[in-house]
Structure 1
C-alpha cells in the first residue's frame, strides 16, 4: 500500500510541476519553514493533496511540498514533518520519502531544531549530523518488508553520507559559518528530556538531542537515498543552563538561526556539482 501511494504521489508531483525533476529532497524542521520561501519558480502542494502524505499537527510545520529550484538545483522541499509522538505511525513518513525518490530525488537533506549537550555549542549554532542514536524505542522499518524498496536488514554504516558531510563543511568554511559535527540522539517526546536523561545522552556520545530526523534517515537509507543533515541548536539541554526549554522558545530560536542555515543550504546546493577532492 505504501509503495502504491508513493507512486501516486510522485505522479501528482510530476503533474503539478511539469518539466521539473527534483534532485534533492529537503525536510524543514520546527521554525525553519521560511527557507521554502527562497525556492525559485515555486509550486506549492498541500500535503492533503498528495496521496498518503503526512498531515502535521504541530505548530511551526506548514504541511506543504514546495517544488522549484534552490541553489541552482531542482528541489522538493517538505515544509513540515510529522513526529513519532503524534501517534500516527510511520506509514505516511515512508510514503513521503518513497515519493520523493520516485519523483527523482537521489539525496535527502534533513534539518531540525535540537538541544545541545555541549556547553561550547550554544543556541544559534548549526551542527552537521555525523551519526545518530535511536532512542525512540521503535524503528520506522518495523513490519513487513518490501524487498523492491530495500533489504530486510539495511546497514546504517555511514548513514549520514561522508562525502555530503564534507561538502557541508566546505560550504560552512567558505561562508564563514561556524562549523561543528556531532551525533544526534532522537528522543520520543513530546515531553522534553530530564536533566538525568541529558547527562546520560552526553555520556553515550551524543552532542545534540531532538524528537525527529532519525526515522527519516533510516527510511531514506533503506530505499537507497543518500542522506545529509543539520541540526539548528535552539537551547542547551535541561540542566546545562538556566534558560527556558519549551516549544515557543524552540520556534523563536530556530527562526533566528534560519538565516545561517539558509545560506549554508544554498551554498551546499550551489557546490553540489563541483568535484569532491576528498572523494574519488
Structure 2
C-alpha cells in the first residue's frame, strides 16, 4: 500500500504509515544501520563505497517520496563502511518539487525507526561569504530556517520525540570537531559557517543574498534544514557538510545554473567521499 496523501493531522495514520515503511525495508535487508546519510546533488556515487549493500529503490518503498531532480537517483543503500552499518539515501526530496516539509522529512523518521542514531546531511550550496570559494567544503554550525515551513507542524508522534524541540544546538558539537580534525589530518581545506535555507527553485536575487548576509548566513541552499529539525526532534546526532558549488549573484557576473552545480560537485566529489569515509570510520 502507498499512501499518496498522508494526513499529517492524524497521528495514528502517520505511525501506521511509518511502521508499514519500516517493515517493508526490514523485509529487504536484515542489516540494522547505526549511522544514516542523505546525499546532496552530485554526491550519489558515494553509495557505491558501501560493502555488502542491499539496495532498495524509493519507488518500491511504501509511502516513500520519489525525487524528481537530476543528481538524485532515488535509492536506499544499507551496507557497511569501516565495519559500521550505514544507511545511505542516494538522493532527497525538496520543497520546490511540490512536497511539503512533512513529506520531505518522512524518510528521516524512517531512518530513526530503523535504528540510526546519527545522521550526516550533505548538500550543494552557494557562497554568501566572500571568504568562501567554489570547491570549498563547509561544516554547518547553525542554520537560518526563516523560509522553511515547519516540518513538525501537525500531529505529534510521542514515540519519536517531544512536542516542542530545543534547537539551540541543531548540529552536534562533537561531530563538528571530529569533521574538523579529520579534514585537517587529510589536508582538506574546510570552512565552518551558517547555512541559510532558500525554498527555490529560483536562485536568489542580489537583494535576497545581501539580506541573508546581514542575518548571518555564510551560504544559501535549498535543502537540509527541515531534515535537521526532524532528526533533532527524533533524538539523532546530526553532522551537516555543505559543498560550495558557486558564488551567489552578488559575487559573480555570470548566471547560476543546476548544470554548474553538478559540474563543480563532480570536481570535488572525490575529496568529499574520502572525508565522509574518514568521518564515518571515526564516529
TM-score > 0.5 by shorter chain: yes
**Cα distance between partner residues in 2 of 1:60 and 1:8:** 28
Residue matched to 1:8: 20
**Cα distance between partner residues in 2 of 1:128 and 1:191:** 24
Residue matched to 1:38: 49
Unpaired segments ≥5 residues, structure 2: 1-12
The C-alpha deviation readout for 1:212-263, integer Å capped at 9, x for no partner, is: 0000000111111111110000001112122431111111111211111111
Q: How far off is 1:176 after superposition? A: 0.8
Q: TM-score, normalised by structure 1?
A: 0.93
**Cα distance between partner residues in 1 of 2:255 and 2:80:** 37
Residue matched to 1:240: 251
1:226 equivalenced with 2:248 (yes/no): no
3-state SS in 2 of match to 1:108:
strand
| 1:266-277 equivalent positions in 2, closer than 5 A | 266-272=277-283
**Cα distance between partner residues in 1 of 2:58 and 2:123:** 19
From 108, 117, 120, the counterpart of 1:109: 120
Residue matched to 2:35: 24
From 215, 219, 228, the counterpart of 2:226: 215
| 1:1-280 equivalent positions in 2, closer than 5 A | 1-18=13-30, 20-272=31-283
Q: How far off is 1:152 after superposition? A: 1.6
How many pairs were matched up? 271
Q: TM-score, normalised by structure 2?
A: 0.92
The C-alpha deviation readout for 1:98-156, integer Å capped at 9, x for no partner, is: 11111110001000000011222111110010000013241111122222222221010
**Cα distance between partner residues in 1 of 2:18 and 2:268:** 33
Unpaired segments ≥5 residues, structure 1: 273-280
Cα gap change, 1:244 to 1:70, in 2 (>3 Å): farther
**Aligned alpha-carbon RMSD (Å):** 1.3
